[in-house]
Structure 1
Amino acid sequence: MTTSPPDAAPGWDDLLRTGTGPVQQTFLDLVRTTRAYVGYSPDLVSGLLQTPGYAAAVLRLVVDFYGTPDDIEAGVAARTARAQYIGQDGRTFHILLGEQALRTNLGGPEVMQDQLQRLLDATNLPGLTLGIIPAQARLLVHPGGGFSIFDGNRVEVEGYRGAETITDEGRVALFRKAFGLLQPSAVYGEPVRDLITAVMATAGRCC
């Protein structure tokens, strides 16, 4: 009999055994209790800023890949509900996206146009700081994969294998350091809007 290492991430087979809805509800509950959030997503739009169409496309890929119960509607409802907490009661959200997140085609041209417009509109949301790391920006740290930090003391990381919650102070500090080194490579404000607008002008011309 083999056992998993004590720090192994829970597999998606276990996490998604009853569908995407419960997992998304868990993240919604976590966001509800968070006062300060920072997150990095190199190639997908952050779940906090996803439109229903984009979220449905993401969760469709998850359901099809893992063969889990198809409750995408419930998953989308919980996933998109996170956005209501941006700026609420003084909450702060600092999100970094890689430029590739604007270009990764999920759901087709219409879905992507709606999603890019959502990002454009989100630049005016109180409580949200949105940065984008241009594809040719010089990096000060290996880009790595996406992660979310909640109130500076809890990290959530997802991958093909599963999801991992990190609360060890030393490991959490590494993610805070990584975010701090990624941030100088990002653009903010008007350059972000210019970049999104430029991608919108070309979205759907291929594939």
Structure 2
Amino acid sequence: MPVSTASGLAARINAALPQTQCTRCGFPDCAAYAQAIAEGTAPINQCPPGGAEGIAKLAALTGQPALPLNPDFGIEAGRSVAVIDEAWCIGCTLCIAACPTDAIFGSNKRMHSVIPLHCTGCELCLPVCPVDCIQMVNASDSRTGWSAWSPPQAEHARQRYAQHRERLSLAARPLPAHPPASQLPATAPTDPKKATIAAALARARAQRAPPSA
């Protein structure tokens, strides 16, 4: 498959994924999984959050048969959101670093909280919490897979993840080096005596100036 064709297919596949960025498919994010499917190096049944409906969407896009979800990557389940037990939170910030959509806010040694609107239920914050103060709560009742998720929610998650990656990229950039003092433009030293005289002359001119109408 030509590179441009594979790239276009990867974009369509990525748009059909739920964008939880949970890494359960074995890839670092939804875009990487989509690229692997487009290149024919990964099957279409490795996305538990998408469930059976998600596999059907990928089958339609790729022309491949719809396979059952591979249980090695998880099971289809409802959408959940993370909740932090604030009484036990020690403010370690490890969950903040793990969250792919910056859905957790807080600061070092301060209580953290989750913004439900931004949480995708990826569960990546669970294994990094040293005091197990995070739990997942159901946010979709009995609905599972894509029926527990909506295209606007997926698009919101995609945008949050893109902003998260951009923030990390900016943070990783080295600060511009300052030129050595020898390369800085020379400035004439200020003569305290001349400065005093100049200030006195300015006051004298102000006193002689005619009053304004």
Which category describes the TM-score, using the shorter chain as reference length? Answer: under 0.3
TM-score, normalised on structure 1?
0.24
TM-score, normalised on structure 2?
0.24
Structure showing greater Rg: 2
